[in-house]
Amino acid sequence: MMKMALFLPELFLLLSCLVIFLLTLGKMSSTTVRNITAALSVITFLICTASLKLEGELFFRAYRIDLFSQIFKLCITGGVALLLLFSSELKGIEEKVRAEYYLFLLLSSLGLVMLVSSVELLAIFVSLELSSFALYLLVPMRDDQGGLREQMEAGIKYILFGVVATGIMLFGMSYLFGLTGTTYLNELIPAMSQVITSPAAIVGIAMVMGGFFFKLGLFPFHFWLPDVYQGASNETTAFIASVPKLGAVALLIRVATLAAPSADALVNLLMILAVCSMFYGNLIALVQKDIKRMLAFSGIAHAGFVILGVLTLKDTGFASAIYYITGYMLMNLACFLVICNVSVKGENLQISDLTGLYKRAPLMAFTLAVGMFALAGIPPFVGFMGKFMLLAGALQAGHLPLVILAAINTAIAIYYYLSVVRISYCTDPEERPAVAVAPLAQAVSVALVLIIIVMGIMPAAVVNIATVAVRGIM
Amino acid sequence: MQDFLIMNTLGYPILSLLVFLPLAGVIPLLLLKNDEVAKYSTLAATLLIAIVSLPLYFKFDKTTAMFQFGEHHAWIPMWDINYTLGIDGISLLLVLLTTMIMPLCVLCSWNYIKTRVRPFLACLLIMETSMLGVFMSLDFVLFYILWEAMLIPMYLLIAIWGGPRKIYASIKFFLYTLAGSVLLLVAIIALYLENGSFSIPMMMGQDYSSVFQIYVFLAFFLAFAIKVPMFPFHTWLPAAHVEAPTAGSVVLASVLLKMGTYGFLRFCLPITPEATITFMPYILWLSIAGIIYGGFTALAQSDMKKLIAYSSVGHMGFVTLGIFVLNVHGIEGALLQMINHGITTGALFIIVGMIYERTHSRELSMAAGVGKFMPIYVTFLGFFSLSSLAFPGTNSFIGEFLVLAGAFSKSKIIAACAIPGAILAAAYMLRMLQKVVWGEEHNPDQSYLKDLNVREILTLAPLLVFVLWIGLNPGPFLDVMHTSVANLIQQVGIAGLEQQNFIEIAKLVIPQ
């Protein structure tokens, strides 16, 4: 019975999936299904809050409940709940598949929740696939708007790149198993320290990381990001852009502990990838016209930033990475909340479509401005504190050139974030209509703004708990 | 507590009160629906802040160089980041200047801002919080957060309520200042790794290696030189000033520019003294270039706001000149000149804003010959113009005189090169004064203009009082800074003695 309590969030999520599955068989209206899904996701979030302090192991020690996993579960379910609360109607999805859409969304979350608790290579693989396959299905579910079948293209790209990345990851896992004879992470850690100097170990770890680089959208696994963001409906993109990245960072940290305390070759590799990612993402984002594409490239740049924390291979760096990616999820959700609400029929938004937003929907304009300034790393928002701690951690680990390049990148990035704010605040709406925003979405946007500010001003609590969590797995 | 901080003994946390009162002033703006009431509530808030700040002057201990009215609370223990506030003789007058200027900013926007009044007032109040915080914070992270956070309300002030080219001006302002300060963050973290603390006073007077100092200094310099702005980083300033609404220009000129020079005094000199001495000659020549360039460019302007903006470049050149001659006269003159520039240039921008409200043009030719119809207005203009050109008896005379005295004792040639700046100031200010008051033979019809009303007189009168007060009796203002400045000179001087070879280099660049 105790073991059941440990597994309660997952069980409840699984149960929710079954409930939604039954609903898809009936003829219930999509609004009802949404309300039920939102309610279930909020309950899941509350269960995760209650089980934050639990510890224990399940399934032959392949599945561990510890502070590290519970924090991530809390963030993941929280993100999903916020997303479901503000996406009141699925504008870009055909009416007849909306119920299924919610099913796959919850399944994907379930995969992520299980992923962060998995401490055995095959369990990791299975959970990752559960979350990925549900996502592969969400992308092409968008209704065919222009007849260009963009969503199909995006879906195919997503699945092809995804499968290749997973293949690379599996290959890397076989290396790790071959070197050490075990697939359990806690046995891998001491075993790896024996062989960490051998090239095979580095290659193995790097290849396993590749699978999560794909989820995170780090260079050179980023090719799918802009097209999928653009091809998927706004709500799907909001999910892909925020929640799975938490899982990716969680697992990157778990894998990076295999290489701690020192593995120069791996650190150098990560450094190169981080720098490429930042420059590539920021420079190309400068010329984007579609706001989702712009956020995709900004996401590539932010992925590079998070790696700054991972490559320190220290607890402070890992904790900063957790803080940063949590903040990143919230900032992204804030931006996508605005995109979902301003988009009338679920179509893609050009940046110019935000013209005069401050007159059409003042709260949306404000939320967007906060989100953009936060993504740009301007204080007092969470983006700044995260950036600051990542830079401080990386400099502490002695990577001065990397830190300077990252700092230069924040200066490059400000231009495109600012141009969104400029469009929404400095121009007249001309003929564009006012934007109607549901009260619930308004409440979520106020909540997001407050969290972004409070987390930016008082990061101590979050960072402390993240540090404790990270020390527990090292 | 720490040996650099005298804890606050007033019984209430006066510095925190000053920082958070403006934020509290934002709350009524969110609740009120009526713009008129919102204006009065903001005016009351800013006046209250000004009154609360007065004990800082009267209770200030002039005999110590330590930071006073201190407050210290742990904030992010993991990185040893604290919420530490305190002021010394260098920051005291700047804090008071800020609290005095803000009510005037509200007054001068009374009729100027017609749309979205409440968000405008909220931006002003958030600006006040961050500006006061910048001058008070003794923790580098706190400083940096407030320093950067200020960009957002200032950006919005220009971008929403600005003139025709507001988009260009606001983006340029934002990009310039942000790009300047990203490396400042790296320097801050590097200093933290050397010291294990983000406390600013604890970073002073440490024995950093010369190379380290030079890198840190360059990162500081880029950030602060853009903010001042020093030649050749000044190009954002005219654009931002011209497009900003009056209150934005006033805040920009009176307080924001001072943050750059404050940064030099607070960080560059005491934290990296060796590097300061190494780079001193180049900065002095840049200051001279700014003085001359600003003067000549101001002479050629037909837009009044642009004229004053370029005159700012020249005046701020005097300030950096005074700081980097590194002697008591120079630095005290520079500090006083910072205050003077805040008063005088702020007033001039308000004056231009008043004529703009009436004629809807800032062109000098459109404002020609208003003296006959607006006698009170031109009287104020006359006084502030004289102050701007450092006429004896006004505030700027004292400041510029001290700076030049300091420069002379450093190098006669440097001082001689700065003198034309003073003459140029007279030329462009008198040109403007002459045009506005009398104009030419055929002036545009100005008979419809009404002279200043009581609100406008009340806006300008306090500034005029200070122009004459500092001009005739600068003692009370110089007294409070004396101990701190002497301490600062000592901090740099000790490093200078150890660095004879740098001084040799300096001699090559500065002819004696």
Give me the mean pLDDT over the B452-475 stretch.
90
Confidence grade of residue A367 (pLDDT, cut at 50, 70, 90): very high
Is A127's pLDDT higher than 50?
yes
Question: In this predicted structure, which of A22-36, A172-186, B285-299, B418-432 has the lowest mean pLDDT?
Answer: A22-36
Is B502's pLDDT higher than 60?
no
Rounded to whole angstroms, the maximal C-alpha distance in chain B is 71
Question: How distant is the Cα of B494 from the closest Cα of chain A, in angstroms?
Answer: 30
Give me the mean pLDDT over the A136-148 stretch.
80
**Contact with chain A for residue B189, Cβ under 8 A:** yes
Question: How distant is the Cα of B53 from the closest Cα of chain A, in angstroms?
Answer: 25
- Selecting from B156, B178, B189 the residue whose C-beta is nearest the C-beta of A395 gives B189
Confidence grade of residue B129 (pLDDT, cut at 50, 70, 90): very high
CB distance A437 to A281 below 8 Å: no
Give, as one character, the DSSP assignment of residue A168.
H
CB distance B410 to B327 below 8 Å: yes
pLDDT of residue B422: 87
For B196, the closest chain A residue by CA position comes to A396
Contacts of A77 (CB under 8 A, 6+ apart): A9, A13, A41, A44, A45, A48, A109, A113
Confidence grade of residue A315 (pLDDT, cut at 50, 70, 90): confident
**Contact with chain A for residue B77, Cβ under 8 A:** yes
Please state the domain count of chain B: 1
Give me the mean pLDDT over the A288-311 stretch.
91
Is B8's pLDDT higher than 60?
yes
Give me the mean pLDDT over the B220-240 stretch.
90
- Provide the 10 A C-beta neighbour count for residue B413: 14
Determine whether the interchain pair B185/A407 forms a contact, defined as Cβ–Cβ distance below 8 Å. Answer: yes
Q: Is the peptide bond before B28 cis (omega within 30 degrees of 0)?
A: no
CB distance B332 to B478 below 8 Å: yes
Beta bridge partners of residue B175, listed in sequence order? none
Is B500's pLDDT higher than 60?
no
Structure tokens at A436: 């109607």
Confidence grade of residue B136 (pLDDT, cut at 50, 70, 90): very high
Sheet holding B81-87, edge to edge: B5-7, B67-76, B81-87
Question: How distant is the Cα of A281 from the closest Cα of chain B, in angstroms?
Answer: 18
**Residues of chain B contacting A375 with CB distance shorter than 8 Å:** none
Residue B318: exposure state from Cβ atoms within 10 A (0-12, 13-18, ≥19): buried
pLDDT of residue B414: 86
Report which of residues B1 and A134 the model is more confident about: A134
pLDDT of residue A452: 92
- Domain spans of chain A? 6-473
Is B176's pLDDT higher than 50?
yes
pLDDT of residue A324: 93
Give me the mean pLDDT over the B73-95 stretch.
88
- Closest C-alpha to B334, from B351, B317, B349: B317
Determine whether the interchain pair A378/B152 forms a contact, defined as Cβ–Cβ distance below 8 Å. Answer: yes
Is B497's pLDDT higher than 60?
no
Question: Angle CA(B300)–CA(B306)–CA(B310) in degrees, nearest 5?
Answer: 75
Question: Quick one: which H or E segment has residue A347?
Answer: none
- Selecting from A316, A384, A391 the residue whose C-beta is nearest the C-beta of B186 gives A391
Contacts of B445 (CB under 8 A, 6+ apart): none
Mutate to test the interface with B, among A323, A395, A467 (most CBs of B within 10 A): A395
**Residues of chain A contacting B163 with CB distance shorter than 8 Å:** none
pLDDT of residue B467: 92
CB distance A463 to B76 below 8 Å: yes
Beta strands, E only, A28-178? 56-58, 63-65
Give the domain extent around B275: 5-509
Q: Rounded to an integer, what distance in angstroms lies between the CA atom of residue B254 and that of residue B197?
A: 32
**Residues of chain A contacting B146 with CB distance shorter than 8 Å:** 379
pLDDT of residue B276: 87
In chain A, positions 356-415, which contact chain B (CB-CB < 8 Å)? 358, 373, 378-380, 384, 388-389, 391-392, 395-396, 400, 403-404, 407-408, 410-411, 414-415
Give me the mean pLDDT over the A368-380 stretch.
90
CB distance A298 to A332 below 8 Å: no
CB distance B299 to B427 below 8 Å: yes
Give me the mean pLDDT over the B216-237 stretch.
90
**Residues of chain B contacting A403 with CB distance shorter than 8 Å:** 186, 189
Question: Quick one: which H or E segment has residue B329?
Answer: helix B328-359
Structure tokens at A66: 């510890």
Radius of gyration of chain B (CA): 22
- Closest C-alpha to A383, from B137, B256, B148, B81: B148
pLDDT tens-digit readout, B425-443: 999 999 988 888 888 777 7
Residues in chain A: 474
Give me the mean pLDDT over the B386-412 stretch.
89
**Contact with chain A for residue B160, Cβ under 8 A:** yes
Determine whether the interchain pair B78/A410 forms a contact, defined as Cβ–Cβ distance below 8 Å. Answer: no
**Contact with chain A for residue B73, Cβ under 8 A:** no
pLDDT tens-digit readout, A397-443: 888 889 989 988 988 888 899 888 888 887 777 777 778 888 888 89
Is B504's pLDDT higher than 60?
no
- Closest C-alpha to A248, from A105, A106, A115, A389: A115
- Closest C-alpha to A435, from A367, A359, A371: A359
Determine whether the interchain pair A378/B148 forms a contact, defined as Cβ–Cβ distance below 8 Å. Answer: yes
Is A304's pLDDT higher than 70?
yes
CB distance A320 to A350 below 8 Å: no
pLDDT of residue B1: 46
**Residues of chain A contacting B144 with CB distance shorter than 8 Å:** 379
Question: Quick one: which H or E segment has residue A148?
Answer: none
Q: What is the mean pLDDT of chain B?
A: 87
Question: Quick one: which H or E segment has residue B83?
Answer: strand B81-87
Rounded to whole angstroms, the maximal C-alpha distance in chain A is 68
pLDDT tens-digit readout, A270-299: 999 999 999 999 999 988 888 999 999 999
For A382, the closest chain B residue by CA position comes to B145
**Residues of chain A contacting B186 with CB distance shorter than 8 Å:** 391, 395, 403-404, 407
Structure tokens at A49: 């809050």
Give me the mean pLDDT over the B456-473 stretch.
91
Contacts of B99 (CB under 8 A, 6+ apart): B18, B46, B49, B50, B52, B53, B128, B132
Give me the mean pLDDT over the B214-235 stretch.
90
For B177, the closest chain A residue by CA position comes to A411
pLDDT tens-digit readout, A38-63: 888 899 899 888 888 878 888 888 88
pLDDT tens-digit readout, B289-327: 999 999 999 999 988 889 999 999 999 999 999 999 888
Beta bridge partners of residue B303, listed in sequence order? B363
Confidence grade of residue B508 (pLDDT, cut at 50, 70, 90): low
Residue type, A275: V
pLDDT of residue B509: 57
pLDDT of residue A36: 87
Determine whether the interchain pair B76/A384 forms a contact, defined as Cβ–Cβ distance below 8 Å. Answer: no
pLDDT of residue B349: 92
Give me the mean pLDDT over the B38-67 stretch.
89
Residues in chain B: 512
pLDDT of residue B510: 58
Q: How far is CA A191 from the centre of its chain?
A: 31
